[in-house]
Structure 1
Amino acid sequence: MGDRWQVEVDRSVCIGSAQCVHHAPDGFRLDTGRQSHPVDPEADANERILAAAESCPVEAIVITLLGSGEPVFPPEE
């Protein structure tokens, strides 16, 4: 079995650019206020969700390993 991720969007930072929806249409949705949210906050690790996080112009998406909380994105510096 592969890794599972906790996917969160900081709505105080999200500007509604929809880049996440473009890169991972099955992973993110915009609500009526144009704020992003994950379709499933506990998702299987996949490249589309990671690409969505990397493409966010304000880095509003945070991904951690489910269970351990180890950062996936943004990576620890």
Structure 2
Amino acid sequence: MNYHVEVKKDLCISSAKCVSDAPKIFKFDQDELAEPVSETTQEQLAVLIRLARNCPGEAITIYDENGSAISLE
């Protein structure tokens, strides 16, 4: 199963936590805001959930292949 990751640009504070901890999942765009590099696999999901939980701007949302947001609980 693949997951779609969304970074809400208005909430991203460019802390670089996601980019430095998971450069295969996130990169900086031209405005120095995080953006996902590609779809995320099941194997990357645990890392992605941890990053979303620890995002200081609460800017990361993860969606399953049906478009439903994944719970971070």
| Stretches of structure 1 lacking an aligned partner (at least 5 in a row) | none
CA RMSD of aligned residues (A): 1.6
Residue number in structure 1 paired with 2:40 = 43
Match of 2:41, as an amino acid? D
Mapping for residues 3-22 of structure 1, pairs under 5 Å:
3-22=1-20
| Stretches of structure 2 lacking an aligned partner (at least 5 in a row) | none
**Count of aligned residue pairs for this structure pair:** 71
How far apart are 1:43 and its partner, in Å? 1.8
Residue number in structure 2 paired with 1:23 = 21
TM-score by length of 2: 0.81
Match of 1:18, as an amino acid? A
TM-score by length of 1: 0.78
**Aligned with 1:58: secondary structure?**
coil
Bigger relative CO (Cα 8 Å, ≥ 6 apart)? 2
Runs of 4+ in 1 over 3 A off after TM superposition: none
Residue number in structure 1 paired with 2:60 = 61
Q: Percent identity?
A: 34
Q: Structure 1: how far apart are the matches of 2:30 and 2:63?
A: 26
